[in-house]
Structure 1
């Protein structure tokens, strides 16, 4: 897998601005051509340029997997229409739950999902149905409730908060059906989603991610 250091708008927190799966990468408008070229070369997807709720923080507001893109109830009509028009071959759905930062509170791949522990059972069920996953659970990672911020999962592997216990890794590996590693990005950040954009084709990490961090990330997502 390709791995490259990357920044966006002079920020190493690339994961808060970008959502990706194996087919589509949703990016803010006005990115320079070189950045868009790097994204396409590494992730090998179509690019969808849009805001969500008039915000550039697409990675914060969007959750999903290779089957579904989930958007918050505050998405604008024009934004929803643009994503649906370009992502024609997967489900694009508004999740009508009180929380709106879906990327921070839903961690999913095509097999399973872990969600914010304060979701109601009905909300959890609605999210699981929208994602089309076999299993969905409420929980935390290393006592962190914003589980979408504390992990990155694909169909090949995953990286989670460096303080996750062996027992948590075992449970999460069973849920997602992949091997997991603990680690950090951007010179010590345990909120790994903020500094990473990953699909099955490639990996982008924040520019301040160190060599030892990169080695662990590569191991986490190796076949």
Structure 2
């Protein structure tokens, strides 16, 4: 169990281009072998290469938990088939807010979603993930999936979160939450972190202090 700095496509925005769910890491086609090795060694995860919406922005469009992956209906059939290589069931959702990775924050216990999802869309997400779902914000902003990263052990949220927002996340996801940043001050913490219950990869500018907070928030032991 550990935390390592990394980069993907030359960028510290690991969570923009990739997503880890359980012991599977979803990455764009052609990622370097060094990055795959870090995913395997630090996260204990295998990699599945794919595109989503014919883009490399896997972390933007993909959300989910160990029970189900969710993607918007704009993705292609062959991309859904590629997701199926993970052996985690995939649900395609017809929703207006298609960047599900940015608008859904989920673990195996619950999910917080963008407040602009319709009631029917919240019901779809709830049925797909099999967990309680609540609308919420972080710092008054609805892209909760970008402003926080959560596992089944803990959650790191943006410093902009109010106590009320932090308490809701903690209650719904059933984990303790801490405020912090990544990549030397970036509040959109999920954009710079790939994490599961075993460890985390963080963007290369992430400071030692930020790493300490991330480790404490996600309960990652050295």
1:43 maps to 43
Secondary structure at 1:93's aligned position in 2?
strand
> For 1:188 and 1:8, how far apart are their aligned partners in 2?
19
Quote how far apart the aligned CAs of 1:93 are: 1.1
Quote how far apart the aligned CAs of 1:183 are: 0.5
Quote how far apart the aligned CAs of 1:170 are: 2.0
2:98 maps to 100
Quote how far apart the aligned CAs of 1:46 are: 2.0
Q: 2:209 aligns with which of 185, 189, 212?
A: 212
Q: How many residues align?
A: 220
1:21 maps to 21
Q: 2:120 aligns with which of 117, 122, 139?
A: 122
Quote how far apart the aligned CAs of 1:83 are: 1.5
Secondary structure at 2:144's aligned position in 1?
coil
Q: 1:198 aligns with which of 188, 191, 195?
A: 195
Give the 5 Å matches for 1:42-81.
Answer: 42-81=42-81
> For 1:33 and 1:14, how far apart are their aligned partners in 2?
15
Q: 1:109 aligns with which of 107, 110, 121?
A: 107
Secondary structure at 1:140's aligned position in 2?
coil
> For 1:92 and 1:23, how far apart are their aligned partners in 2?
16
1:87 maps to 86
> For 1:196 and 1:54, how far apart are their aligned partners in 2?
23
2:11 maps to 11
Quote how far apart the aligned CAs of 1:22 are: 1.2
The answer as to whether partners of 1:157 and 1:178 remain within 8 angstroms in 2 is: yes
1:178 maps to 175
> For 1:194 and 1:171, how far apart are their aligned partners in 2?
21
Secondary structure at 2:31's aligned position in 1?
coil
The answer as to whether partners of 1:141 and 1:147 remain within 8 angstroms in 2 is: yes
Unaligned runs of 5+ in 2: none
Unaligned runs of 5+ in 1: none
Secondary structure at 1:189's aligned position in 2?
coil
1:161 is the counterpart of 2:154: no
The answer as to whether partners of 1:22 and 1:201 remain within 8 angstroms in 2 is: no
RMSD (Å) for aligned C-alpha atoms: 1.0
TM-score, length-normalised on structure 1? 0.96
The answer as to whether partners of 2:137 and 2:165 remain within 8 angstroms in 1 is: no
> For 2:164 and 2:24, how far apart are their aligned partners in 1?
33
Quote how far apart the aligned CAs of 1:87 are: 2.0
